[in-house]
């Protein structure tokens, strides 16, 4: 098996990669103290030894999950990381939500499946030209607007046929609804945990700055590399 052990040096070797920077004092969480190394100018500094440990363990877990063809969903809807989430997920053949989490997406899965089916049917009819017959330009414009909105919400899960086996949360506080749904359904969760987060809300916390795109990119790239390696191993064994 490939090794995904990450050293503290590798995590900070590039400039402007503030994986170690926590939140300001007014946003500290007492539950997060064990991941903090020290305080500097009213900021907690995240212990990168802890980050490397949890990241390495998580990568190994994802590698094994991918070898078993487990379904993985990545959730991150903040604007500055939306593109990072989509790009990472596509490279690793994972599902993703990067626009807005709709309440009940997982806990009301039967409704979500119907919405996905509806979108696919609408898209098929639109692409075939059926909607353009006997309809005014205004009616066609309304259909296009509806398709565009549905696509924004559902594009990352269009081919998700069942509840995910693992969910990766990029911003725990922003995605609190997603976290609650996963807990309710007992779906294992992995999350970046900044100094304003509660590590007890997720199954596998990765202490890291979740506000900086560079930090999020590094963590996601490592996780998705493990997933890709796992899927690739399975494909090679089946070929």
Q: Global pTM? A: 0.82
Q: Where are the domains of the chain?
A: 20-105+163-238, 109-156
Q: Which CATH superfamily is domain 20-105+163-238 in?
A: Glucose-6-phosphate isomerase like protein; domain 1 (3.40.50.10490)
Picking from 105, 199, 83, the residue whose alpha carbon sits closest to that of residue 191 is 199
Structure tokens at 14: 């590039």
Q: pLDDT 10s per residue in the chain (239 long)?
A: 333 333 333 444 444 444 444 444 444 444 444 555 455 555 667 778 888 889 999 999 999 999 999 999 999 999 999 999 999 999 999 999 999 999 999 999 999 999 999 898 888 888 887 777 778 888 888 888 888 988 999 999 999 999 999 999 999 989 999 999 999 999 999 999 888 888 889 999 998 888 888 889 999 999 999 999 999 987 777 76
Q: Are 158 and 147 spatial neighbours (Cβ–Cβ below 8 Å)?
A: no
What is the spatial distance between Cα 94 and Cα 105, in angstroms, rounded to a whole number?
Answer: 17
C-alpha distances (whole Å) from 127 to each of 43, 115, 120, 160, 217 are: 53, 18, 10, 22, 35
C-alpha distances (whole Å) from 40 to each of 12, 24, 94, 212, 218 are: 17, 10, 38, 18, 23
DSSP 101: P
């Amino acid at each position: 098996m490939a090794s995904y052990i990450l050293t503290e040096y590798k995590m900070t070797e590039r400039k402007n990669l503030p994986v170690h920077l926590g939140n300001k004092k007014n946003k500290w969480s007492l539950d997060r103290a064990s991941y903090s190394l020290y305080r500097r100018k009213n900021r907690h500094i995240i212990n990168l030894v802890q980050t490397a440990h949890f990241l390495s363990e998580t990568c190994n877990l994802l590698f094994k999950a991918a070898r078993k063809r487990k379904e993985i969903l990545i959730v991150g809807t903040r604007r500055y990381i939306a593109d990072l989430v989509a790009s990472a997920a596509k490279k690793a053949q994972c599902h993703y939500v990067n626009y807005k989490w709709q309440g009940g997406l997982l806990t009301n899965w039967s409704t979500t499946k119907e919405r996905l089916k509806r979108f696919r049917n609408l898209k098929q009819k639109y692409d075939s030209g059926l909607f353009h017959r006997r309809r005014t330009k205004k009616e066609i414009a309304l259909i296009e607007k509806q398709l565009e909105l549905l696509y924004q919400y559902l594009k990352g899960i269009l081919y998700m046929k069942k509840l995910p086996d693992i969910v990766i949360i990029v911003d725990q506080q922003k995605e609190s609804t997603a976290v609650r749904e996963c807990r309710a359904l007992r779906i294992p969760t992995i999350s970046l945990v900044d100094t304003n987060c509660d590590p007890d809300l997720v199954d596998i916390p990765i202490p890291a700055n979740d506000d900086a795109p560079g930090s999020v990119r590094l963590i996601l790239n490592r996780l998705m590399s493990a997933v890709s390696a796992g899927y690739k191993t399975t494909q090679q064994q089946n070929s």
